[in-house]
């Protein structure tokens, strides 16, 4: 049985199943990328809720796992060499899990790097831009009299949706017929933009027919349905 007691995070979130991969997360667009990936791969895992309401992400235990105080993070008791491995940053975690299982990342070098390219596009574009748009549209930013900051993110979000729509114009998924970590990274953010952020009309989401089609296919996947609710909120 793996011994995870040397990791301080396990003092705050004890592992009931230390032989399973430990997930520390919250069901946000970034958090569910990893829970969806875990559900899709079938890897045994144990989820732990990192509650922002009680500032769990700022606790010494969580910071010992991720000094950047962001969710999600994982602790795999069976990492390389069968030694425990701790990871944060969703892009790194998705690549790691894909390589660990041999799933959702092409095996050929060209396909692998093209998939990673779209994963990085989500991390550098879709995530930050949609998140800022959510702030200015739904949260505190909506009270700003000056709408130029909001409109900047609206315009950039529209541009990114157009890039994605064009990419999907002749493809079932971002990489073609194969569903990959690129889709797992991108579509939780698209779903959040038109759902939780209620910004669909603002960005003209109905104009992006290919994005709408693939989003519908994504949220219909059983593993996605499960992953979107993990970890369960308290």
| Angle separating helix axes 181-194 and 29-41, nearest 10 degrees | 140
- Mean pLDDT (whole number) for 55-61: 97
Q: Give yes or no: residues 116 and 30 share one domain.
A: no
What CATH number is associated with residue 35? 3.40.30.10
pTM score, whole prediction: 0.97
Q: Are strands 73-76 and 85-88 parallel, antiparallel or unpaired?
A: antiparallel
State yes or no: cis peptide before 147, omega within 30 of 0: no
Q: Give yes or no: residues 36 and 74 share one domain.
A: yes
21-25 β-sheet, strand order: 45-49, 21-25, 73-76, 85-88
Domain that holds residue 68: 9-103
Confidence class for position 26, pLDDT limits 50, 70, 90: very high
Residue at 64 is within a domain: yes
Residue 109 pLDDT: 98
- Mean pLDDT (whole number) for 134-142: 90
Based on the number of CB atoms within 10 Å of its own CB, is 13 exposed (0-12), middle (13-18) or buried (19 or more)?
A: buried
Q: Give per-residue pLDDT as tens, 88-127.
A: 999 999 999 999 999 999 999 999 999 999 999 999 999 9
Q: Give yes or no: residues 96 and 168 share one domain.
A: no
Q: Give yes or no: residues 202 and 114 share one domain.
A: yes
Find, among 58, 66, 12, the residue nearest to 75 by Cα.
Answer: 66
Residue at 233 is within a domain: no
Q: How many domains does the chain have?
A: 2
Confidence class for position 138, pLDDT limits 50, 70, 90: very high
Residue at 229 is within a domain: no
């Amino acid at each position: 049985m793996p011994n995870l007691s040397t990791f301080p995070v396990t003092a705050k979130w004890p592992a009931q199943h230390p032989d399973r991969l430990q997930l520390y997360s919250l069901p946000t667009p970034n958090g569910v990328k990893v829970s969806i990936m875990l559900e899709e791969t079938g890897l045994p895992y144990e989820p732990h809720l990192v509650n922002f309401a009680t500032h769990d992400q700022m606790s010494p235990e969580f910071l010992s796992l991720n000094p950047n105080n962001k969710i999600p993070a994982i602790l795999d008791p069976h990492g390389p060499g069968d030694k425990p491995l701790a990871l944060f940053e969703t892009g790194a975690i998705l690549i790691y899990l894909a390589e660990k299982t041999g799933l959702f990342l092409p095996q050929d070098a060209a396909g692998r790097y093209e998939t990673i390219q779209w994963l990085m596009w989500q991390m550098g574009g879709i995530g930050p831009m949609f998140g800022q748009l959510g702030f200015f549209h739904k949260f505190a930013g909506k009270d700003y009299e000056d709408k130029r900051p909001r409109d900047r993110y609206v315009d950039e979000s529209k541009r990114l949706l157009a890039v994605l729509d064009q990419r999907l114009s002749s493809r079932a998924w971002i990489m073609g017929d194969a569903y990959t970590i690129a889709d797992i990274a991108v579509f939780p953010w698209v779903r959040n933009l038109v759902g939780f952020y209620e910004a669909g009309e603002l960005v003209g989401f109905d104009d992006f027919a290919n994005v709408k089609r693939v989003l519908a296919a994504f949220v219909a996947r059983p593993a996605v349905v499960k992953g979107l609710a993990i970890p369960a909120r308290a």
